[in-house]
Amino acid sequence: MSQIPRWYERKFEFSFSAELYPNICARLRGTPARLEDVLNRRAHRVLTAKPQEKWSAQEHVGHLLDLEPLWLARVEDYVKGSAVLTVTDLQNRKTDAANHNAHPLEDILTQFRAARNRLLAQFGEIDTALFPLSIPHPRLKVPMRLVDHLFFVAEHDDHHLAKIWQLLNSTVASD
């Protein structure tokens, strides 16, 4: 099995056409369903297992929920014409402190779906004149158009889905 690259080591190139906006929105819209599909009927002990004391599958889902306010704030950065996109907590303290394993998975998934729907609704309200606007990403130090930001969010979703898939498959294999 190939190794999933560490998120903070990933490099991004945003040279694709802004016409991919609907496709990227479709990816973002599909994340809640893909999460539900991969987690469906899994035992709580499997979902909350923490190999090497790293995040469990359920904590990865919680992390996706925890970042929805950041994605919303960054969309608002485009509306406001900010000089730089909102900075994130690179230590992920919110996720570490949330104790997502102590909460019902169904609650986390329901909250994530609602938060993602809010994010998608916000995209629909954006003036298309803002689409070409580029704002530097604070960590990557590259300018990002709104469509680039959405691609970044979709890639982040997929990164954690891959981690969840890997965790669940390794946990099942070790049972």
Domain contains 68: yes
Beta strand 143-145 with 134-136: parallel, antiparallel or unpaired? antiparallel
Is 14's pLDDT higher than 50? Answer: yes
Considering the domain boundaries, does residue 24 fall inside one?
yes
Mean pLDDT over residues 9-32, rounded?
Answer: 93
- Whether 135 and 9 have beta carbons less than 8 Å apart is answered as no
Looking at residue 157, what is its pLDDT? Answer: 98
Structural domain count, the chain: 1
Domain of residue 158, residue span: 7-174
Token match 């890997």: residue?
166
pLDDT confidence of 174, banded at 50, 70, 90? very low
CATH code (residue 19):
1.20.120.450
C-alpha pair distances (Å), 58 with each of 29, 155, 156:
20, 19, 16
Q: What percent of the chain has pLDDT over 70?
A: 96
Q: Compute the average pLDDT of residues 65-94.
A: 96
Asked if the structure places residue 95 within a domain, the reply is: yes
pLDDT value, residue 124: 84
Is residue 2 one of the residues assigned to a domain? no
Average pLDDT over residues 140-167: 96
Q: What is the pLDDT of residue 171?
A: 54
- The predicted model gives 131-142 an average pLDDT of 93
Residue 61 has pLDDT above 90, yes or no: yes
Q: Could you give the CA distance from residue 75 to residue 80 in angstroms, rounded to a whole number?
A: 9
CA-nearest of 100, 99, 94, 35 to 70 is: 94
**3-state DSSP call for residue 69?**
helix
Q: Is residue 1 part of a domain?
A: no
pLDDT at 2: 64
